[in-house]
Structure 1
Amino acid sequence: MSTIKLLTTGGTIAMSHDANTGKVDRPTNEVLTGWLKGTIEVVSEDVCNKSSPQMTLVELGALLRAVKSSLADPKIDGVVVTHGTDTLEETAYFLDLQLPPGKPVVVTGAMKASNEAGTDGPANLMNAVRAAACADSRSRGVLVVMQDEIHAARYVTKMHTSSLHAFRSPESGPLGWVRGEKAEYRFSLEPAACYPDADVSSLSSVFLIKAVLDMGAEWLDFALERGARGIVLEAFGQGNVPPALLPGIRRAIAAGVPVVLVSRCAGGEPQGTYGYEGGGAMLRELGVVFARELSGPKARLKLAALLSLHADAAKVRAAFERP
């Protein structure tokens, strides 16, 4: 019999909602795990009870320690983390950055509270546990299981505010599915870089800025004045920004502050195609780092990890040019 450690952090999957008062209560763990009997044993531990917008590095640090402790236990075959959906993709990627390949770690959540009609929590949890108990899930990085689908933490994102099918991986699609009693995979990913010694406690000094129409350099200057150690810039399309941003980008790079470029589009990645003023080709010449395959929030986490390890400009660039 496989033994799976269930680490709960709160979120909709661990809530019941009173439509009359608006009050949200937390059901007992039996509501979530009482039906999981038979071939898989589930051992549960509460890490915290937070809605995902309330999660901070304090809770993420506690969760990381709990996951590492569980993985080190020879009696535990895999770990499942339940989490609110709003920041689920960031927590999953945070774990993915710092956990070496090995026993499966699966993150899941729910779009509907446990007492709502059509709640998806029990099915998502059951499938997450089955995926974590499957030997074929080992060494695939941190996984996210929602609606029978298995996604890689580095690619998955919440694409809809309320749909049960909110979670998608726009570029890769799901790695596989949970069918019946087991996980089935259609392909494997190249292993991602792992930074087990990283300390992202300085995450607040990495600024995420989205490019918008007629944007000025004062947005970047504000970040620099507030002590930014790194800047992630969500650019238009294939990696283009308003020309008025260029002086701020130059000042950041001259000050030794890495500027990492992602696209604000849901799919694709910056390519540096255009040579006009503010175009990606010009940004690359200025020394802007182009991030492959990551969203802005995930690039922010990765940059914070790299900076905590005192990575120089060359190492930052190399790290973002691979998954």
Structure 2
Amino acid sequence: MFATLTKQGLCAAALFAAVSVHAADKLPNVVILATGGTIAGTGATSTTTVGYTAAKIGVEKLIEAVPEMKKVANVKGEQVFQIASESMTNDHWLKLAKRVNELLKQSDVDGIVITHGTDTIEETAYFLNLTVKSKKPVIIVGSMRPSTAISADGPINLYNAVATAGSKDSVGRGVLVTLNDEIQGARDVTKTNTMTANTFRSPELGSLGYIVSGKPIFYRASTRKNTADTEFDVSKLDKLPAVDIAYGSANANTIAIDAFAAAGDVGIVYAGTGDGSLANTVRPRLTELRKQGLQIVRSSRVGNGPTIRNGENNDDETDFVVSDTLSPQKARILLMLALTKTKDTKEIQRMFYTY
């Protein structure tokens, strides 16, 4: 009798294992690429939400902290780098984009989640939005509170990101940013508050949707080309063209502009006042630099609305480019990538109206 019961138990265990394997086979395969940030940060106490140390926890511990993810995807992790996102560089972006593209070529990868510090999420998201060569979902996620804090937002944000990355509804929507139960498009999203959990917003056009009980629900999509539909290829690039941002204000001067030019920049984004206005103390120098070959993009520090071509400046005459609705930090990204393709101002302007 004991032998019979043991045999029955083994059969039941084998059946359960087979069912579990079959269920896992039906789940999407999601790779988490960890880069550091607050989501991997720790604080001195459970109430420390400012003054914590970012980028301390590795990807395996992040995954272990959210076992619920295993119900929505087969998850594996990889530590790409471990930094606070204010230290993100062009080299980091190139490495990350190349790794994302390598993984998305694999048939056993359905989507990717990138854990990231919030300070430059919007920039990394837009860079990948222009350089990822796949329609498969790429989701960037972070948190505003470190992992040790009361009501840390990292675990639920990570769970939602994995669920979104594994959803067929996310395919072809470009790179997405998910925090605070919201889905934002890479082109539109920006950090709007230094400390609150609802900091990420798309002020002009709004979010793309919500994540409800682990399911992404989309209400709109971006009309601008992205990912597999872009003309940019970073696979053979070792570095990006040198482009910096000069900030406009009252009493504007050319000190920063001159320094960037002297340092060898090939492009400057000018974050002007209002509709990208150029002070009389600045316009002549930018015009001169354009004649010398530097690309000049006129953008705005305002944060909402397009910078209009030939509005506050005769851009046709000065041969400047306008950023449309891109923020200065995102205009910098597009200008760098544009300069890997062409130096023709009209072509670069076309890119700003396309992406």
When normalised by structure 2's length, the TM-score is 0.84
Structure with bigger gyration radius: 2
1:255 to 269, 292, 295: 292
In the TM superposition, what are the counterparts of 1:204-223 in structure 2 within 5 Å? Answer: 205-223=242-260
The aligned residue for residue 354 of structure 2 is 322
Q: Deviations over 1:143-178 (max 9, x none)?
A: 000111111111111111111011111111101111
Does 1:10 find its partner at 2:23? Answer: no
Q: Deviations over 1:55-78 (max 9, x none)?
A: 223322222222112211111111
Deviation sequence 1:181-228 (CA, Å, 0-9, x none): 31111112114252442448234x212111111212343233222212
Distance across 2 between alignment mates of 1:11 and 1:183 = 24
Map of 1:227 onto structure 2: 264
CA contact (8 A) 1:238 1:272 kept: no
Which structure 1 segments of 5+ residues have no match? 275-279
Matches within 5 A, 1:73-112: 73-112=106-145
Query: Which residue is equivalent to 1:26?
Result: 57
Partner of 1:294 in structure 2? 326
Pairing 1:156-305 to 2, within 5 Å after superposition: 156-192=189-225, 194-198=230-234, 199=237, 201-203=239-241, 205-272=242-309, 280-305=312-337
Work out whether 1:141 is the aligned partner of 2:174: yes
Is the CA contact 2:139–2:178 (under 8 Å) kept in the aligned structure 1?
Answer: yes
Matches within 5 A, 1:40-59: 40-59=73-92
The alpha carbon displacement at 1:306 in A equals 1.1
Alignment check: 8 A CA contact 1:7 1:45 kept: yes
Do 2:72 and 2:162's aligned partners in 1 also have CA atoms closer than 8 Å? no
Alpha-carbon distance between aligned partners in 1 of 2:52 and 2:214, rounded to the nearest angstrom: 37
> What's the Cα RMSD here?
2.0
- C-alpha displacement of 1:43: 1.3
The change in CA–CA distance for 1:77 and 1:232 in structure 2 (over 3 A counts) is same
Tell me, yes or no, if the aligned pair for 1:149 and 1:174 is still in contact at 8 Å.
yes
Residues 101 and 138 of structure 1 are in contact (CA less than 8 Å); yes or no, is this contact kept in structure 2? no
Does the aligned pair in 1 maintain the 2:310–2:316 contact within 8 Å?
A: no
Residue in structure 2 matched with residue 277 of structure 1 by the alignment: none
Distance in 1, matches of 2:260 and 2:53, equals 38
Q: Which amino acid aligns with 2:349?
A: R
Percent of pairs with identical residues: 32
Q: Give the CA deviation at 1:99.
A: 1.3
Q: Are 1:10 and 1:84, in contact at CA under 8 Å, matched by a contact in 2?
A: yes
The answer to whether the Cα contact below 8 Å between 2:159 and 2:214 also exists between their aligned partners in 1 is no
**What TM-score do the two structures reach when normalised by structure 1?**
0.92
Letter in 1 for 2:170: S
Provide the rounded CA distance (Å) in 2 between the counterparts of 1:249 and 1:161: 32
Aligned length, in residue pairs: 317
